[in-house]
């Protein structure tokens, strides 16, 4: 495979400054003059760890998320298998792929005085939607945006042990555990914003508890974490405040709402009331507030969402298009949105992933390190990222 690497070096060597237009531009390097570089980096990695500076040059290459960012930016957002992989390899490497790059370029060029744009990542199961979302979230946090990352909306519509009737609104239900968990993670992600943002309204929780106007947001969040009973309402309040203040000229922060598995907000739930009748998603406080967030009636930020079939309820496993998974209601709410398709690995990306696993000594089987073994891997996984990952896990 050293010869492979050499061949790819001649093939891939990026020119230092020239920006390239069009997609899949690694191949165009050939026409440009080739230089000899010392071997300080390998083919599938790039030193460019800042998502801002990544461009199509780096497509297919892995960049490392700095460990300091890891725990602040992604306390809860990463797929569980990827978290295990990070723990095993002792580093978090994300592949730069075309959907993420497209999203980031849109975010760079968008006009934030207009109502929010909504982006929807969709694709077949295991093609890398959540990872692209995390890549974009990393970009947003490095740019200093306030990130509202909901790891999986499906977690809010199923498997809830406690459903309290809401104190605020009679017909709605609260989910204290999920809400407090999310608030805790939110606090970890956006530490620096919590003291800067001030509340514009007075919130009364109980007869004795209330939060005054002008208090920092951090206090509200702390209160929500400690008082578990009213945490769902706290979430609602937080979302409302952020919505109001996002595009504001005095505060001046941008808000990124990243929702994974957004189709869960409009489907059905598995939760039941005490009289065994099913709960509709609108009757959950969290879902209700989140839906208000996703509506494009505010400005100064972006909504990035992914569809997910894996956790979705009552959806066939072959469905991956927005219409199928969102349903009519969801589609109407999300409309208009910018669809971003996420495809399976291209040849280059597959090669890069394969070399990464080889580099990390993840592929132990001697046959997998040969060309034939690579062909077998391509066949068996059909270049599907998650299938490939599961396949290599026992090799």
Partner 1 sequence: MQMQRLLLSTYFLFSPERRTANMAASGGRTVGSFLWKCGNCCFNFNTVSSNLTRQVLSRQLCVSAVLHRKNLAAAGPEKFSEEFIKKQVEEFNIGKRHLANMMGEDPETFTQGDINRSIAYLFPSGLFDKKAKPLMKHPDEDTFTKALAVEKHQDRLRGKDLFTQDAKQISLVGSRWLLKEELEELLVETISEHDYARFIQLMERLLSLPYCSVEEDFVQRYRRQLEIQSSKQQVQPLQYDQHGVAYSTGDGRRKTATGTVLLRDSGSGSISINGTNYVHYFPVLQDREQLMFPLHFMGVLGRFDMQCSVSGGGHSSQAGALRLAISRAMLSFLSEGQVETMRQAGLLTPDPRIKERKKPGQEGARRKFTWKKR
Q: Which residues bind partner 1 (CB under 8 A)?
A: 124-125, 317-318, 372, 375-376, 378-382, 384, 387, 391
- The DSSP bridge partners found for residue 45 are 62
Cβ 391 to partner 1 shortest distance, Å: 7
Cβ 381 to partner 1 shortest distance, Å: 7
Say how many CA atoms lie within 13 Å of 395 toward its Cβ.
22
Distance in angstroms (rounded) separating the CA atoms of residues 41 and 8: 13
Where residue 9 falls (left for φ over 0; alpha for ψ -120 to 50; beta otherwise) is alpha
Cβ 375 to partner 1 shortest distance, Å: 4
Q: By C-beta, is 110 or 391 nearer to partner 1?
A: 391
Cβ 288 to partner 1 shortest distance, Å: 35
Length of the chain as a residue count: 395
Cβ 395 to partner 1 shortest distance, Å: 12
Whether the CB-CB separation of 298 and 245 falls below 8 Å is answered with no
Q: By C-beta, is 185 or 310 nearer to partner 1?
A: 310
Q: By C-beta, is 34 or 393 nearer to partner 1?
A: 393
Cβ 344 to partner 1 shortest distance, Å: 9
What tokens does 81 get? 């298998």
Q: By C-beta, is 134 or 344 nearer to partner 1?
A: 344
Cβ 382 to partner 1 shortest distance, Å: 4
Distance in angstroms (rounded) separating the CA atoms of residues 188 and 192: 9
Whether the CB-CB separation of 256 and 103 falls below 8 Å is answered with no
Question: Scanning the structure block, which residue is given the tokens 């992933």?
Answer: 353
DSSP letter for each residue of 346-371: -HHHHHHHHHHHHHTT---SGGGGSH
Distance in angstroms (rounded) separating the CA atoms of residues 85 and 329: 37
Q: By C-beta, is 2 or 379 nearer to partner 1?
A: 379
What torsion do the CA atoms of 87, 92, 93, 99 make, to the nearest 10 degrees? 110
Burial class (CB in 10 A: 0-12, 13-18, 19+), 338: middle
Whether the CB-CB separation of 26 and 12 falls below 8 Å is answered with yes
Q: By C-beta, is 116 or 381 nearer to partner 1?
A: 381
Q: By C-beta, is 280 or 380 nearer to partner 1?
A: 380
Q: By C-beta, is 338 or 391 nearer to partner 1?
A: 391
Cβ 129 to partner 1 shortest distance, Å: 16
Distance in angstroms (rounded) separating the CA atoms of residues 264 and 256: 19
């Amino acid at each position: 495979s050293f010869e492979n690497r050499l061949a790819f070096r001649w093939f891939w060597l990026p020119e230092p400054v020239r920006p390239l237009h069009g997609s899949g531009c690694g191949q165009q390097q050939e026409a440009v003059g080739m230089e000899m570089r010392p071997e300080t980096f390998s083919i599938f990695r790039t030193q460019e760890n800042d998502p801002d500076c990544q461009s199509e040059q780096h497509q297919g290459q892995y960049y490392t998320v700095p460990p300091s960012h890891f725990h602040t930016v992604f306390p809860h957002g990463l797929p569980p298998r990827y978290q295990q992989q990070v723990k095993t390899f002792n580093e978090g490497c994300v592949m730069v792929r075309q959907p993420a790059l497209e999203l980031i370029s849109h975010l760079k060029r968008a006009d934030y005085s207009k109502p929010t744009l909504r982006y929807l990542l969709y694709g077949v199961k295991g093609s890398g939607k959540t990872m692209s979302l995390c890549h974009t979230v990393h970009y947003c946090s490095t740019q200093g945006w306030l990130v509202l990352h909901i790891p999986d909306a499906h977690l809010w519509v199923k498997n809830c042990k406690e459903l309290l009737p809401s104190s605020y609104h009679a017909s709605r239900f609260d989910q204290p555990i999920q809400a407090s968990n999310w608030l805790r993670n939110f606090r970890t992600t956006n530490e620096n914003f919590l003291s800067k943002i001030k509340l514009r309204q007075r919130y009364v929780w109980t007869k004795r508890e209330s939060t005054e106007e002008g208090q920092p947001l951090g206090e509200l969040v702390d209160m929500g974490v400690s008082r578990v009973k009213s945490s769902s309402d706290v979430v609602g309040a937080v979302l409302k405040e952020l919505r109001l203040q996002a595009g504001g000229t005095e505060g001046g922060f941008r808000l990124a709402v990243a929702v994974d598995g957004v189709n869960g907000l409009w489907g059905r739930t598995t939760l039941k009331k005490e009289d065994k009748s099913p709960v509709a998603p609108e009757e959950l406080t969290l879902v209700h507030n989140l839906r208000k967030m996703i509506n494009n009636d505010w400005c100064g930020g972006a909504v990035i969402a992914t569809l997910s079939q894996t956790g979705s309820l009552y959806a066939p496993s072959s469905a991956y298009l927005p219409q199928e998974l969102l349903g009519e209601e969801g589609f109407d709410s999300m409309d208009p949105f910018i669809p971003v398709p996420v495809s399976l690995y291209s040849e280059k990306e597959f090669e890069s992933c394969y070399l990464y696993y080889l580099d990390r000594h993840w592929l132990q089987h001697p046959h997998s390190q040969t060309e034939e073994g690579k062909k077998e891997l391509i066949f068996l996984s059909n270049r599907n990222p998650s299938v490939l990952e599961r396949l290599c896990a026992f090799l």
